[in-house]
A and B are shown apart, each in its own frame.
Chain A
């Protein structure tokens, strides 16, 4: 078929599929639209989760003072504040606040629509912050959003294997999201047992004082699990069955490898969470005793089940960001990824090992100390593939011709934060050291470097694929400013948490000044809070850039970054069915600066004439 003929046929094909507004934008079965839906939903939830973090930080810096802009929240969550309860007026607080330059600002802000936070509500706030960020931001954005958008495009398929299942996956996530937000508004408020929901606090409503809210939390995650399971089945089937001709396993981009491995982890881990959540719901509502010792249950069983799911979950969150980073580093270094197979196999190794390290969350839980040693050793082993990935990223930069675009900067930011998060994990892996730092801010610092650090992978991915997703370019200058501010304030906000942890500052406490041994380090809490506010405000630059670029950004070419992978051979944005003709793949995804061609990139689907191939042999 001639090229013109193919285009005409494609047009006819597209016309045949002309769909109404509802089938195009709402109940769409197109993987690209479903990907966009997941992205928008998780960006909305990112705002919710971020604002919750801001409330927490205010409370920790200036405990038991009026939190600004919260007077609209009703009792018993927030209590009306009087003039004596602003930062400047609370007795004894001045000595902790005044030395810090932000004190006057805080004093003036507290009187703006301020209200007092109830300690029980504080527990709800951090529980929901973590739940939302993990299950409703990172997972739907990276796995739901980019997984959906990228898998068919990067393997050269027209759509997912099961388009209707794909649509159901999104529309199952919607009620789960609504339910988790709604749980704030029921009597007793939202779940307050921490995102880990340890029994027995979570298993008996009378112990936490939260009844309906925690039930909704459980049900919401049960529903979300169904959504993720549908996605996982779809991704695995698509990657196994629908790769374009010539797209062998080891010609797949690493981001596809990461999403494939993630889908397998989801498929295997979610049933465990579902079972545990089911037992918890039975304990809460039907009087069973899976976790209640009074009826012969065992509270530590919850921890084993939860972390058996929970540790693979950590890799579900971080693997896609690693994949994205690998692709972006290679593209903008104009160099093949260093050690492609080692990168693919280290992800597989991480996935396997993630099943046998869950006990490192439980060194002081009362589990047999001998078991602690076993889990410590497996945890030390899982650090090795992470080290391999880091060094291979460095190897990719070496000898490159590096272009500092905004996606590249965010990818480098991800590597830098992952290095810190990975190294701080070693402290916790060591059982004796963990005795002291367990449940302190050291842990909070560690998992924010790893999990909140994923936001750098999210931004890298969004800046990189924005032209393909929406057909327009984002503003580079704003992107770079956004990166610089985010990187600086992220580190100012999270790095000092290590110091707090080393001083013994417990996590999940509402007022650090209740403990005399924490008085001397309170100024770090103020510093962290100011940095966190700046981090939050810096994101406004992103929102401006994002919305402005959506409407009025420069139209994007097919391949604005001169990249090799298949999605860049489709139009920006790709139409229904993605490719005009199914591409054929001739080589791996990272043939940058190949000696075979004049340009410094060589797309996967470009067929070289026999004379070039012979010359290279």
Chain B
């Protein structure tokens, strides 16, 4: 069953998957133990009129054993889960990539803040169902809904968060491998729930820069030319720094990919610089 866990491209997915496997081994062992005992007992103690059943009402020592051992296992699992949960939910990394995703029947409305990094300003860009993020950088996402409860589900990122109307929920994710991923809605949201999905584009630095510059052309505002170019570069440079220093170990990813990403990032920085000088 293991090969069906979708590929993990998130920084914390490795811990979640490891916990999943850990529980898998514990529950498999418990299942085998109980089932084997049951089959043995059913065979060993099948009806035989030449003997009587053992007349016993229980055994306090045994009962204590099978109360205390499961209790200890569950406490251990609880503690292990607690630390990973905190890693995912409470230790939000610093980032300057922010987007807002709002659920509405039956699309994801994606809002990008633009170069000024402020939502609800003139340079915002809003689009349905296309989420563009740079590879290897944490993304802060503000989730909301216009009508009913939706749930943003990114299987490869081990990310799922309900979106509530009337409330904005802050969450974060990070994709360590470029590519496109499906983003289904996981909470029943009406007759169009099935098929409600968007696409997450995890862009290489070049692609992200290209997409970014197409959306907010650096040369467009004459006076702010330098600042716009700076923004692009800042985003990318920030990404490189994050990769090298503060990014948590991407457990599921081989080092080669990270190197690739970094070399690609340098290339992107070069091309961005070229564009700026042109």
Contact = CB atoms under 8 A, between A and B. Distances in A.
B182 A201 contact: no
A392 B88 contact: no
B245 interface: no
Interface in A372-404: 372-373, 376-377, 380-381, 383-384, 387-388, 390-392, 394-395, 397-404
A433 B53 contact: no
A541 interface: no
Given A433-B23, A515-B182, A123 B191 contact: yes
A369 interface: yes
Interface string A190-211: 0011100011110000011100
Given A119-B191, A392-B63, A366 B167 contact: yes
B195 interface: yes
Interface in A497-537: 498-499, 502-504, 506, 508-511, 514-517, 521
A64 to B, nearest CB: 10
A438 B71 CA distance: 24
Contacts of B77: 380, 426, 429-430
Interface string B163-198: 111110100000000000010111111111111010
Interface string B194-230: 1101000000000000000000000000000000000
B38 A209 contact: no
Given A293-B165, A381-B74, A436-B16, A593 B55 contact: yes
A333 B188 contact: no
A120 interface: yes
A14 interface: no
A389 B216 CA distance: 64
Interface in A402-430: 402-404, 412, 415-416, 419-420, 423-424, 426-427, 429-430
B16 A419 contact: no
A208 to B, nearest CB: 6
A432 B22 CA distance: 13
A502 B158 CA distance: 11
A610 interface: no
A89 to B, nearest CB: 21
Contacts of B55: 335-336, 592-595
A300 interface: yes
B137 to A, nearest CB: 21
Contact of B182 (A207, A397, A498, A516): A516
B186 A439 contact: yes
A423 B27 contact: yes
Contacts of B195: 509-511, 514
A299 interface: yes
A432 B81 contact: yes
Contact of B151 (A119, A339, A364, A383): A364
B241 interface: no
A342 B63 contact: yes
Contacts of A509: 184, 193-195
Contacts of A333: 45, 53
Contact of B38 (A373, A381, A416, A435): A416
A440 to B, nearest CB: 8
Contact of B169 (A366, A392, A398, A504): A366
Q: In this complex, which of A387, A403, A404, A521 has the most chain B Cβ atoms within 10 angstroms of its Cβ?
A: A387
Q: In this complex, which of B71, B80, B191 has the most chain A Cβ atoms within 10 angstroms of its Cβ?
A: B191
Contacts of B54: 335, 398-400, 593
A338 interface: yes
A345 B20 CA distance: 32
A207 B105 contact: yes
A401 B51 CA distance: 8
Contacts of A337: 57
Nearest to B67: A388
A468 interface: no
Contact of B158 (A419, A436, A506, A593): A436
B187 A426 contact: no
Contact of B194 (A293, A419, A514, A592): A514
A318 to B, nearest CB: 17
B78 A120 contact: no
A192 B191 contact: yes
Contacts of B37: 394
B58 A388 contact: no
A427 B28 CA distance: 12
A508 B4 contact: no
Nearest to B155: A504
Nearest to B79: A377
A438 B188 contact: no
Given A373-B85, A384-B67, A401 B47 contact: yes
Contacts of A511: 194-195
B23 A394 contact: no
B48 interface: yes
Given A338-B58, A419-B31, A515 B197 contact: yes
B273 interface: no
B256 interface: no
A20 interface: no
A387 B197 CA distance: 40
Given A366-B169, A419-B34, A504-B6, A402 B85 contact: no
Interface in B46-87: 46-49, 51-59, 62-63, 66-67, 70-71, 74-75, 77-78, 80-82, 84-86
A502 B19 contact: no
A384 B56 CA distance: 23
Given A207-B148, A514-B197, A595-B55, A433 B190 contact: no
A561 interface: no
B160 interface: yes
Contacts of B20: 427, 433, 436
15 contacts: A192-B190, A207-B190, A209-B191, A339-B59, A366-B162, A381-B71, A381-B74, A384-B71, A390-B34, A400-B53, A415-B38, A499-B1, A503-B6, A514-B197, A593-B53
Given A198-B188, A377-B78, 12 more contacts: A119-B191, A198-B148, A342-B67, A369-B85, A377-B82, A395-B62, A402-B41, A430-B19, A431-B81, A433-B16, A433-B19, A435-B160
